[in-house]
Structure 1
Amino acid sequence: MSAPAPLVALDRLVKHFPVRMGLGFSRAQVHAVDDVSFTIARGETLGLVGESGCGKSTLARCIVRLMEPTGGALRFDGADIAHLGTRALRPLRRRMQMIFQDPMASLNPRKTVGEIVGDGLAIHGIGTPAERRRKVDDLIARVGLSPDMAGRLAGALSGGQRQRIGIARALALGPEFIVADEPVSALDVSVQADILNLLKDLQVEFGITYLFISHDLGVIRQVSDRVGVMYLGRLVELAPAEAFYARPLHRYSQALLEAIAVPDPDRATRRRAPLTGDVPSPIAPPPGCRFHPRCRYATDICRSEEPPLREAGQGRLVACHHPNEA
């Protein structure tokens, strides 16, 4: 029996931005996303991690078509949506939504909570005004807030309350797929745990598929079925979460995992040196493996040949000439 088709499938997706020079554009381009391929199964949470500037958020916006990819294929439920126009995308907006990173910036502070949560329902003409009001109250309650908050201005809410409203807004149209782009990075640690638990509960209740983006591997560990690692626009590792945290294969993944805070002083003293150096410019990525200028294991082949993303057994993929096999 064949495996069910994935809900989301990327095939060599590319997003480049032209570089503006004065009043015009140069021939240079920002390589924000380069040749990225992966799938997300229905009901799965794929965690995507990497340093700031690696292309995670750009990739997220391409997937939900807030940006149009430069090249490659992007399939949602089997249909290629990479280059669909605004009208053709409209029905898909109900099926895919996004939770944004900064709850203080992603909500209009001059709108009421009820208006923000109900906007999508009104735009898509779902229900009567009375039915929409009841739906909004139900959604606000479902994310752990009192329905009487519907009349309050978003600007008067705390960061955690705003993020719950952002989640309610994303849920309003009953989406199958949600991209959560750093949804807890701007929140206090105690609030983070509540939001993560809420997202997991909603997944179980509604069968939602998530792409969960973070720079924090500790957060990714709490929510993900599989983990993908991006570096300078490329996917360098993809693995089941348990296998990834037990033994990351890419040297960059290994460095990220070693950077997680460890409460045991003895373990902390046995760590290797932390990742050093800055991420190279995405305008002029280094030749060969893009990580080689920061990798202590780099050899001549790393500097001259770009490693392909290849099978490494047990559902794992890695793009490294010298993967961690210890």
Structure 2
Amino acid sequence: MASYNQMPPEEMRQRAEAALASLESCEICPRSCGVNRLDGELGYCRSGRYARVSSFTPHFGEERPLVGSHGSGTIFMTGCNLDCVFCQNYDISHLGEGREVSATKLAEMMVCLADGGCHNVNFVTPTHFVPQILEALVEATEMGLSVPLVYNSGGYDSVETLRLLDGIFDIYMPDAKYGTDAAAKKYSDAADYTGVMKAAILEMHRQVGPLEVGDDGVAVRGLLVRHLVLPENLAGTAEVVRFLAEEVSPETYLNVMAQYHPCYRAHQFPELSRPITLREYAEAVNLARVAGLDRGIGI
């Protein structure tokens, strides 16, 4: 049974209502655009009152503790509150591929994935749609949903918004994209990224702790962090792993990812216009191990 199944329905409904009301002057994410999304105004994320979904499907390319034998039930949300110049899902995040869905339709997607055998429901880029997800979850629980929910974000999340999810999401999987604000500003238009990301990950860890995996190898609860290695150590790996090991927990699951390749607008930046080398990846993995992180490295 997932955490949200243990929450009184009225409390979940109240959280959804509070989150939806905040869209009138949106401060759901750290951008705090202040636009009235209930009236159709669009902020940085280019999203209005209703959730937009690109696709929903069992996914077998996620981390092993999420995939198990039946897949992770991913729901790809359209739009993003970051503007990463190397985004590998730019058609969804930046070009707006997807369709608007009601709360009932989003709830039906969640239940469909669970009924199909997926071990969890995995919201990809959920940050700007937290109110809509909570609204849909009220209906999904009434339909019998009981698998863990995964919050799969870019790490640019508001602590205040995350607190609305306490006792609802069992698994957090944020990116820790950068160790310096200079790189975050240049490549993701987020000059305050590192401080925001660190505060968000600390809150996520407070809620769910280190990743817990069942006897079947499938995650049931906890924190799993992703860090994409960039060419020329532009991601600032040393500071990322120091923070995770010293300020979060040496038990933190960390996926040091090697799949960087130039996408979207990366070719406009000479330093990002090539894949990483095997040596660059090995150096990043070594930094993580030296820092004391050894759970999930390279999963």
Regarding TM over 0.5, the answer is no
TM-score by length of 1: 0.28
Q: Which has the higher contact order (CA 8 A, sep 6+)?
A: 1
Higher helix share: 2
TM-score by length of 2: 0.30
